């Protein structure tokens, strides 16, 4: 990442109320450089231009700070990023909160080779798992165990809820990262939320710097344990969403 890009990253993060340390800026720059290199071999992202990647990958991944509580920020939170792809939002969030105990999951192993490499290069420890969420969520040591599940661009909300809520302990929450205009999607998800043990969704809208557009953070508290049936077997949540 160029020095101008690093300045841009600091300024853009500032719009979210974040003051990045030199070390955090270095870590983001390293991840960006590695992402561009690896993207020549592995399809990690369509967004590789520096300015665009800074806002759409790094700053966008930071946006949950707008709704995280002081306690969530400061604790060794158990966090799971489902469908992390090239590591977003988990890697930027771990750059902010390296004391979190994170699990990063994706069903595509090649992307995770990058994620492992990137984390190792910047000296952050996290668990990286090549699994489908539908299978992982039925493992006893994974189910109802996380304080925070997070997902960006994973699926339509009713599907996303089935793939993520089973991982969250009662008292924890989901943050789903979406584009603008999510009211219809949230309305269509009310049956799934109810069936899976979620509370009323709270949507926070925000605007990314550089006129890149609006984003929505949908927070769903986990109120009750998810019935053992969910998630249904791999492929079913997508083929027959809970709507």
Residue ranges in contact with ligand SAH by CB under 6 A: 83-86, 88, 105-108, 111, 132-134, 152-154, 163
Tell me how far, at minimum, the Cβ of 86 lies from ligand SAH, in Å.
Answer: 6
Task: Extract the tokens encoding 64.
Answer: 């949950």
Q: Which is nearer to ligand SAH, 208 or 223 (CB)?
A: 208
Buried b (16+ CB within 10 A) or exposed e, 179-208: eeebeebbeebeebbebbbbeebeeeeeeb
Q: Which is nearer to ligand SAH, 181 or 234 (CB)?
A: 234
Q: Which is nearer to ligand SAH, 22 or 114 (CB)?
A: 114
Tell me how far, at minimum, the Cβ of 110 lies from ligand SAH, in Å.
Answer: 10
- Name the DSSP class of 56: I
Tell me how far, at minimum, the Cβ of 141 lies from ligand SAH, in Å.
Answer: 17
Q: Which is nearer to ligand SAH, 21 or 213 (CB)?
A: 213
Distances (CA, A) of 6 to 15, 23, 44, 87, 117: 15, 11, 22, 19, 21
Tell me how far, at minimum, the Cβ of 1 lies from ligand SAH, in Å.
Answer: 18
Q: Name which of 168, 18, 181, 179 is nearest 81 in CA terms.
A: 168
């Amino acid at each position: 990442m160029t020095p101008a890009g690093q300045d841009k990253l600091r300024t853009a993060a500032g719009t979210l109320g974040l003051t990045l340390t030199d070390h955090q800026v270095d870590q983001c720059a390293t991840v960006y450089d590695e992402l561009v290199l690896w993207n020549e071999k592995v399809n990690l992202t369509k967004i590789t231009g520096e300015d665009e990647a800074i806002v759409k990958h790094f700053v966008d991944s930071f946006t949950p700070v707008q709704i995280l509580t002081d306690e969530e920020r400061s604790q060794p939170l158990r966090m799971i990023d489902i469908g992390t792809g090239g590591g977003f939002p988990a890697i930027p969030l771990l750059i902010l909160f390296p004391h979190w105990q994170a699990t990063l999951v994706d069903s595509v192993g090649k992307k995770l080779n990058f994620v492992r490499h990137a984390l190792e290069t910047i000296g952050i420890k996290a668990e990286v798992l090549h699994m489908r969420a539908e299978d992982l969520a039925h493992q006893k040591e994974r189910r109802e165990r996380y304080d925070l599940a997070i997902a960006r661009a994973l699926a339509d909300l009713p599907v996303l809820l089935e793939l993520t809520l089973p991982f969250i302990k009662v008292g924890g929450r989901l943050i789903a990262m979406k584009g603008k205009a999510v009211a219809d999607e949230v309305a269509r998800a009310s049956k799934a939320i109810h069936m899976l043990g979620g509370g009323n969704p709270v949507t926070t809208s925000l605007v990314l710097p550089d006129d890149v557009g609006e984003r929505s953070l949908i927070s769903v508290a986990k109120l009750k344990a998810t019935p053992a049936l969910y998630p249904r077997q791999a492929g079913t949540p997508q083929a027959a969403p809970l709507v």
